[in-house]
Structure 1
Amino acid sequence: MNPIEHFEHVFEYNELMGVETLHPLVSVIDLSQARMIRRYRHTFGFYALFLKDVKCGNMIYGRQYYDYQEGTIVSIAPGQVAGVEDNGELFQPKGWALVFHPDLIRGTSLGRNMRNYSFFSYEANEALHLSEQEREIVIDCLHKIRTETEHAVDKHTQRLITANIELLLDYCVRFYERQFITRGCVNSDVLIRFERLLDDYFASEKPRTEGLPSVKYCAGQLHLSANYFGDLIKKETGRTAQEHIQSKLIGLAKERIFDARKSVSEVAYELGFKYPQHFSRLFKKATGLTPKEYRKPD
């Protein structure tokens, strides 16, 4: 496997692609106008969003391979590993790239809202697949951003660039929500497997040995990123994945609390709690009663 190359600054990526740096913190690149490059893996010190117009082979994202089809967007946060499998040949990329450094958005509305764009932490197999109309909207936003980078820097530059990036990312949120809906059958399967995973987990010795199941653990078992999994569950059910886990916990606790052979502490330990008082606190928050009050007969 080819080595990982790191690009800390936007101008370094521009140099690789053979394009002029118009702004030190942001760049919009028409990849069809860029130079031919080798396939390789890389990390960035900045955010990157790629819209591909052609199939370009197996993309490497983290430790996984993804057959990167046309009409998809992959969003990459600083520090993530991405790239294309090296076959020893040069290739001409097609599509668009938007890269912007965290320094560009500091103190802006985009900077304050960046955590809302959880798709920057999705896996490549959770890429956004666009309709033709959606693709045109994305490209229009990219053109607006690039137009601002070509304009002489003035007091309006940062605000207009970041506002247009924020608009683009808001469209991506909308398009992902559409994708969640159009993939309803797949999502239902995830929900079923999530419930089965929790049932199997609590029926095993894992709560005693490994503790409470986390959202990250459940996502990993379902071969999804934690952010994508959380967004999918929230969109499908209106509740967070953590709320689902806690609901399962409370349901099991209500059943086991009535086993007079077990103390409240024993129930807490077998459910995965390290400290019984944490179990009691969560139980009372959910039911309005402590475990002992719930167990006590009327």
Structure 2
Amino acid sequence: MKDVERIDTVRQYNESMGVDTLHPLVSVVDFDEIPTYHQFQRYMGIYAVFLKYIKCGDMRYGCQPYDYEDGTLVFIAPGQVYGISSKGEIIKPSGKALVFHPDLIVGTHLGNHIKDYSFFSYDVNEALHLSKKERATINDCFIKIVSEIDSNIDKHSKRLIVSNIELFLNYCMRFYDRQFITRTNVNNDLLVRFENLLKGYFQSDLPHNLGLPTVAWCADQLHLSPNYFGDLIKKETGNTALDYIQSRIIEEAKNKIFDPKKSINNISSDLGFKYQQHFTRLFKQRTGMTPVEYRNLN
């Protein structure tokens, strides 16, 4: 694969795709209207959302490959690297891309809440797969954004463009919620693996070696991005992944507290706490009493 190409502006992206720049901070590119191209790898300094209709090469996000399926949305945030691996073949893509510079949303409601759209940090294999009806809705959003970009820029342009991008992202959030629901069997399997992962963690030397299990560590062990993992656990259980982990820690602590041979400090260390006072604080937050009070009560 070629050296990493750096894309820091909308104009740079448009030039790389061979299209004109109508607005300096935002662009919608129709892949049906651009020439064919070979494989590439890019560092993105701008936001990008890719809608692919058909398979057109293996997309790579960091080091992870992903085969496009019909009607797939992939989200790229500034600071991420993506590329297309064509295996030497000429690529003729079909779909669209929405790219916008962070400056476009500075000081707007979207700019203040862009981190709420956690799917910008999902791995590419956690992409959003659209139904035909959902794809029609997304295409309608693209049409509205393009209409504003094609219009003469005036004092209303930025607000309307940003509002339509925010509407687009809100639809994506709704469709991701649907995807979590329709993959219930897969998600239930993940919860079982998550529970077994935590059980095995506390039955090993990992608490002494690594400390408390973190959301990032659990996600990595389950081959998921931290954000996707956290969102999935929240959708399935109603609690955050951190809450789930802490509940498991307290269950382990309660079992160990019944062992009179173990001091509270020993239990704290066995669970992976660096300091006993941190263990005592968490235990009281979750149970309403200190470990000593819980031991004496039982």
TM-score, normalization by structure 1 = 0.98
Distance 2:105 2:27 in 1: 14
- The residue number in structure 1 matching 2:75 is 75
Question: SS of 1:91's equivalent?
Answer: coil
Kindly provide the CA deviation profile for residues 47-86 of structure 1, in whole angstroms up to 9, marking residues without a partner as x: 1000001111221111111112121000011111111114
Does 1:228 pair with 2:242? Answer: no
Question: SS of 1:90's equivalent?
Answer: coil
1:2/1:86 contact within 8 Å kept:
no
Number of matched pairs: 298
Does 1:40 pair with 2:40? Answer: yes
- The residue number in structure 2 matching 1:268 is 268
Does 1:174 pair with 2:194? Answer: no
Question: SS of 2:223's equivalent?
Answer: coil
Letter in 1 for 2:122: Y
Q: Give 1:93-242 correspondences, 5 Å limit.
A: 93-242=93-242
Distance 2:179 2:19 in 1: 33
1:58/1:68 contact within 8 Å kept:
yes
Distance 2:89 2:68 in 1: 18
2:48/2:97 contact within 8 Å kept:
yes
Question: SS of 2:87's equivalent?
Answer: coil
2:61/2:124 contact within 8 Å kept:
yes
Q: Which segment drifts farther, 201-210 or 54-63?
A: 54-63
The CA deviation at 1:146 is 1.0
Q: What RMSD in Å do the two structures reach over aligned CA positions?
A: 1.1
Distance 1:118 1:14 in 2: 26
Distance 2:86 2:36 in 1: 13
Distance 2:288 2:71 in 1: 51
Question: SS of 2:14's equivalent?
Answer: helix
- The residue number in structure 2 matching 1:279 is 279
Letter in 2 for 1:37: Y
- Flag the 1:86–1:56 CA change in 2: closer, same or farther, 3 A: closer
Does 1:244 pair with 2:259? Answer: no
Kindly provide the CA deviation profile for residues 241-286 of structure 1, in whole angstroms up to 9, marking residues without a partner as x: 1000000000111111121111111111110111110000000011
Question: SS of 2:239's equivalent?
Answer: coil
Q: Which segment drifts farther, 254-263 or 217-226?
A: 254-263
Distance 1:42 1:98 in 2: 16
Distance 2:270 2:153 in 1: 62
Question: SS of 1:38's equivalent?
Answer: coil
Structure 2: gaps of 5 or more residues: none
- The residue number in structure 1 matching 2:5 is 5
Q: Which segment drifts farther, 61-70 or 44-53?
A: 61-70
1:59/1:67 contact within 8 Å kept:
yes
Letter in 2 for 1:161: I
Kindly provide the CA deviation profile for residues 207-256 of structure 1, in whole angstroms up to 9, marking residues without a partner as x: 01100111011011001110111111100110111000000000111111
Q: Which segment drifts farther, 10-19 or 57-66?
A: 57-66
1:38/1:91 contact within 8 Å kept:
yes
Distance 2:200 2:81 in 1: 33
Distance 1:34 1:70 in 2: 19
Distance 1:49 1:222 in 2: 26
Distance 2:179 2:297 in 1: 50
Distance 2:86 2:130 in 1: 26
- The residue number in structure 1 matching 2:25 is 25
Letter in 2 for 1:207: P
Distance 1:188 1:2 in 2: 41
- Flag the 1:37–1:255 CA change in 2: closer, same or farther, 3 A: same
Kindly provide the CA deviation profile for residues 86-136 of structure 1, in whole angstroms up to 9, marking residues without a partner as x: 433432221000001111001101111111100011111111000111101
Distance 1:116 1:296 in 2: 44
Kindly provide the CA deviation profile for residues 145-193 of structure 1, in whole angstroms up to 9, marking residues without a partner as x: 1111111111111110010000000000000111111111000000000
